[in-house]
Amino acid sequence: MAVRPWRSLRVRLIASVVLIEVIMLSLLVWNNLDLIRRAHTDRLRDTAASMLQQIATTSGSYMVEVDYASLEEYLRNIATHPELAYLAVLDRDRRPVIRLGEVPAGGWPAPDRHPSEVRDARYDIATDIVFGGRAMGQVRMGFSLARMQQAIQAARLRSVAIAGTEIVLTILATVLIGIHLTRRLGQLAQAAQQVGAGDYEVAVPTGVPDEVGMTASAFNRMVAEVSQRTRRLQEALARERVIESTAIDGMITYDADGRILSVNPAMQTLFGYDEAELRGRHAALLLAPPPQDHDSDTTLWTRVTGARREVEGRRRDGSRFPMELYIGCIDVSGEPLYAATLHDITERKRAESECRTLLEGNRFLIHKSLAVQEEERRHLARELHDELGQCTTAIQADAELIHDMSQHKDRRVAASAEAIQAVSARMYDAVHAMMRRLRPTVLDDLGLVAALQDALRDWRERHPGTELEFSTDGELGDLGEPVNISLYRIVQEALTNVARHAGARRVRIGLSRRGGRGAGQVVLDVADDGRGMDPDLPRRGLGLIGMRERVEALHGTLRLETAPGRGLALHVVIPLGSAEMTA
């Protein structure tokens, strides 16, 4: 097959080299022209500045003596510079006293900063004449840029001529070298075409042991190994057939219409059909029909699955069983060929069912233990209040009576009574704190909001360095005892985690109700700006587990949002209808 000229490696090689050479030379010429232009403008600027300074320094004495004739004679000797367009000396009143050259008409132009910024083809400069610290006048000069532009243009023409010569020489050298190199590549291309046509006896002369010669040697070795590779491929196909015949999973291939082309022996074990019965029949035969109120999925067998899909299989005797279906597809001669793997998951489903039963039992036990724990806390708090609290109050009353009776009789007895009063007061405070931790009475008396405000007030006193915000929204007085105690314990545990682990400077707690009475949901948000944690790391603490179990007991959801260094946010949603039913 002939190669088109523009697709030839030789043409592309020459064109690429020429293009690179043109680009590089263009950049070089452009850079040289910029350097030449900058050198000429800098030279003119320096020359003009030197002449202007010399004239201003020398003209001072002439201006003092008002000897304009001598000054003009001196300036005529200097004004022979080929690029000088005009030279003028002005007195203190800015009136010209000496004019040489073509002085601009219509007022003096503003001095230019640099020749490269000139737009009127003349570089105008000016400076004051100072003598003895007094301003005596001004010198103005103008330089024509014509000679400089001519020099720059001549340099540009020389650079372009040199670059053009280099490009022509490069094209000639590239053509000669390309013809020499690509002749051997053409031999390789011709040999490759013969191999493509099925002639494996071809051999390419290696010639010089360079890159092309090494390629020719590799090509010859490749052709020599084609027969060996073909034999290895046949052996690999045989091994694959062995794998298919010994696999415990069912495997089938079928066309775009779903007609089965081949099956492995495991299909007979799974479904009870032999290969002859399945070949030519539709693959849908292997799946249980959908319920009458569901339409059958006609595209199931032509949808390639990225993962295994659970379906229900049907055996020859009509029995059904769960299985996983994986479908792949390849293109064979322009036609799709589908392959499916069918795996029986009956045992796995049975194990999953047993695990779910055990999990539900464990969860039920956890929920019951939480309920028993709250009841025991309530009972213990009541016992502390009724027994130990009353005893402590009685001790305080007796100690106060002893103190009053012995105050003026025996100071030692009075001091002991005061000590008993102090100890009993501390005991009362400790018992009261224990009662609040076990079961806050304000929760039963005044409701959830008041109980949280009381608990948060105590927490602020214990952690004055952390700012704590609490906000509520909606009617929160009729949530029910299970919701109240669960939300109270969740806030308690969240604040305990903040104090122990977060190192936060600010904590925000929000409690709101959405929906009307007897319905809707209650939402709790707890967020801090502490160190956070990695949510992917396993957590050994029981605090989050307990909070999650309390929420799930009320059919709610708990979501945790955190990252290292970004704090932690706890979002709890409890449906009130389910909570009341649980209560």
The tens digit of pLDDT for each residue in 198-212 reads: 676 777 777 777 777
List phi, psi (to 5°) of 521.
-155, 155
Please answer whether residues 59 and 71 qualify as being in contact, where contact means their C-beta atoms are separated by less than 8 angstroms.
Answer: yes
Q: Are 547 and 445 spatial neighbours (Cβ–Cβ below 8 Å)?
A: no
Please state, in angstroms and rounded to a whole number, the distance separating the CA atoms of residues 82 and 64. 30
Distances (CA, A) of 577 to 360, 480, 574: 21, 10, 9
**Tokens read off for 91:** 């007195």
Whether the pTM exceeds 0.85: the reply is: no
Give 572's strand partners. 524, 558
Whether 518 has a pLDDT exceeding 70, the answer reads: no
Q: Predicted confidence band at 383 (pLDDT cuts at 50, 70, 90)? A: low
Report the alpha-carbon distance of residue 40 to residue 122 in Å, rounded.
14
Residues β-bridged to residue 69: none
HSE, side-chain direction, 13 A CA sphere, residue 398: 10
- Name beta bridge partners: 339: 253, 328
Give residue-wise pLDDT tens across range 158-191: 888 888 888 888 878 877 777 776 677 777 777 7
Expressed in angstroms, the distance from the first to the final Cα of the chain is 86
pLDDT in tens, 210-251: 777 778 788 778 877 876 676 677 677 677 666 666 677 888
Residue 349 confidence (pLDDT) = 86
Quick one: pLDDT at residue 581?
40
Would you call 311 helix, strand, or coil by DSSP? Answer: strand
Structure-block tokens of residue 463: 């952690």
Q: Does domain 442-583 have CATH number 3.30.450.20?
A: no
Q: Long-range contacts made by residues 199-207, C-beta under 8 angstroms, separation at least 24?
A: 200/226, 200/227
Tokens of 202: 């071809």
pLDDT-derived band at 56 (thresholds 50, 70, 90) equals confident
pLDDT digits (tens, 9 = 90+) for 96-127: 888 888 888 878 888 988 888 888 888 999 99
Amino acid sitting at position 428: Y
Integer Cα distance of 272 and 249 in angstroms: 14
**pLDDT tens profile 295-317:** 556 677 888 877 778 888 898 88
**What token pair was written down for 193?**
């075409």
Second-level CATH architecture of 10-161: 2-Layer Sandwich (3.30)
- State whether CATH 3.30.450.20 applies to domain 248-289+296-344: yes
Amino acid present at 529:
D
Ranges 5-9, 151-155, 219-223: which has the least confidence: 5-9
Provide the CA 199 distance to its chain's centre, in angstroms.
Answer: 54
Taking CA atoms, 74 is separated from 83, 88, 95, 467, in Å, by 18, 13, 19, 88
CA-based R_g, the chain, Å: 50
pLDDT in tens, 67-82: 888 888 888 887 788 8
Q: What is the pLDDT of residue 65?
A: 83
pLDDT for res 125? 92
pLDDT per position as a tens digit, 341-372: 888 888 888 898 888 888 777 667 666 666 66
Q: What is the average per-residue pLDDT within 12-28?
A: 78
* Residues composing the chain: 583
